[in-house]
Amino acid sequence: MADLIVAADLGGTHLRAALVTADGHVLKRADHHTPPTATRDEIVGEVCNLMTAVAEGAPERPLGACVATAGLIDADQGKVIIAPNIPGFRNLVLTDPVAARLGIPAYIENDASAAALGEFRFGAGRGTRHLLHATLGTGIGGGIVIDGRLYRGAKGLAGEIGHIILDPAGPVCNCGSRGCLEAMVSGVAFAARARYLASTGKSARLREIAAGREPDASDLHAAALAGDAFAEAEIRHGGHLLGLGLGSLVNVLNPDAVTLSGGLLGMGAMLLEPLREAMYSLAYGPAAGTLIRLSELGDDAGILGATAVALERLGRG
Ligand SMILES: [Zn+2]
């Protein structure tokens, strides 16, 4: 029987847990919807309950457990410093209750960093040694694998690629800076551009598609597909900016591959063509050979990422 890990993916509104083998096969899974009104203790309790539920009846005792979640994470201390999607999670050591309930070592990791290690071990990053992973969703996150190990940096914050500056005069970012990649291109940034196009009357199509509500990033894409030139230009410009950001990082890190995941990939070639073009136009010398690959893990990125982190921590990486 393969080594087993109990993995969890804790988001703002959902919690997933799974019993996973060391080669990435999910043997058992459970999902839970987290109500926005849930207290900190209720959420911690639910994480423990769901992880216990998937561990029960395991063919052998799992080796360890890991929770992947968004936010500033002190992985070495097992602590959530701040979780933007879960208001009560501040300076919370989450690994202690999980380890106590399951009776096995427990770990925690930032979800984008975990996703990077998950792609490296089980997904689009297989066969590489050095990997840059970017999560392109509501926000922009990332993770870095160097020589087959997750790179966490001095304080565990490495990989925050959404906060490199592309335009010092650009829009204000959540982090307080101006013109961060995330403030320029992300689900939130595209939604802001869509609202601008609709409210200024530049895009009648977008207004029609949104039908009275505030348009979002997927409305922007729908308008572009329906032939709206302004909407398409926004998405292409966004892809270009992402390519500039990723190309700059490729020149710093010289990874074998850049892997991409997240909801913005649904924008397809309209986003990815200018992204590729800009990234390769920047790439210096041998960096021009860096591959771009799309995630192969889909909705399981969180639990397979958590599995990969637990295996690495347990010395099975
Ligand atoms: Zn920022």
The two structure tokens encoding residue 315: 């010395």
The pLDDT tens digits for 204-218 are: 899 999 998 999 999
Measured in angstroms, how far is the CA atom of residue 176 from the centroid of ligand 1?
A: 6
Where residue 137 falls among pLDDT bands split at 50, 70, 90?
Answer: very high
Domain 4-110+299-313 and domain 124-295 have a common topology: yes
Measured in angstroms, how far is the CA atom of residue 185 from the centroid of ligand 1?
A: 11
Q: How far apart are CA 2 and CA 62, in angstroms?
A: 10
Measured in angstroms, how far is the CA atom of residue 241 from the centroid of ligand 1?
A: 15
Where residue 1 falls among pLDDT bands split at 50, 70, 90?
Answer: low
Measured in angstroms, how far is the CA atom of residue 99 from the centroid of ligand 1?
A: 34
- State the pLDDT at residue 87: 82
The domain segmentation of the chain, as residue ranges, is 4-110+299-313, 124-295
Measured in angstroms, how far is the CA atom of residue 56 from the centroid of ligand 1?
A: 42
The pLDDT tens digits for 6-42 are: 999 998 889 999 999 999 999 999 999 988 888 999 9
| 14/116: higher pLDDT | 116
Q: Where are the alpha helices (DSSP H) in the chain?
A: 40-55, 95-102, 111-122, 181-184, 187-199, 204-210, 217-225, 229-253, 269-282, 301-313
Measured in angstroms, how far is the CA atom of residue 181 from the centroid of ligand 1?
A: 7
Measured in angstroms, how far is the CA atom of residue 77 from the centroid of ligand 1?
A: 25
The two structure tokens encoding residue 133: 């992973």
Measured in angstroms, how far is the CA atom of residue 256 from the centroid of ligand 1?
A: 26
* Residue environment code for 256-272, b if the CB has 16+ CB neighbours within 10 A, otherwise e: bbbbbbbebeebeebbb
- Angle between helices 269-282 and 229-253 in degrees, nearest 10: 40
The two structure tokens encoding residue 81: 């410093």
Measured in angstroms, how far is the CA atom of residue 188 from the centroid of ligand 1?
A: 12
Measured in angstroms, how far is the CA atom of residue 58 from the centroid of ligand 1?
A: 42
How many CA within 13 A on the CB side of residue 111? 26
Cut 0.85: pTM above it: yes
Q: Which residues hold their Cβ within 5 A of ligand 1, which is an ion?
A: 163, 173, 175, 177, 180
One CATH from 3.40.190.10, 3.30.420.40, 1.10.1740.10, 3.30.230.10 for 4-110+299-313: 3.30.420.40
The yes or no reply on domain 124-295 and CATH 3.30.420.40 is yes
Average pLDDT over every residue of 72-91? 90
The chain-wide mean pLDDT, for the chain, equals 94
Measured in angstroms, how far is the CA atom of residue 35 from the centroid of ligand 1?
A: 28
Measured in angstroms, how far is the CA atom of residue 197 from the centroid of ligand 1?
A: 23
Measured in angstroms, how far is the CA atom of residue 184 from the centroid of ligand 1?
A: 10
Measured in angstroms, how far is the CA atom of residue 159 from the centroid of ligand 1?
A: 13
CB neighbours of 26 closer than 8 A, spacing ≥ 6? 18, 19, 20, 300, 303
Measured in angstroms, how far is the CA atom of residue 180 from the centroid of ligand 1?
A: 5
Measured in angstroms, how far is the CA atom of residue 172 from the centroid of ligand 1?
A: 8
275: left (phi over 0), alpha (psi -120 to 50) or beta: alpha
Closest to 144 in 3D by CA, of 131, 157, 156, 129 = 131
The two structure tokens encoding residue 207: 């207004």
Q: How far apart are CA 110 and CA 124, in angstroms?
A: 19
Measured in angstroms, how far is the CA atom of residue 178 from the centroid of ligand 1?
A: 7
Q: How far apart are CA 317 and CA 314, in angstroms?
A: 7
The pLDDT tens digits for 246-274 are: 999 999 999 999 999 999 999 999 999 99
> What letter represents residue 79's amino acid?
K
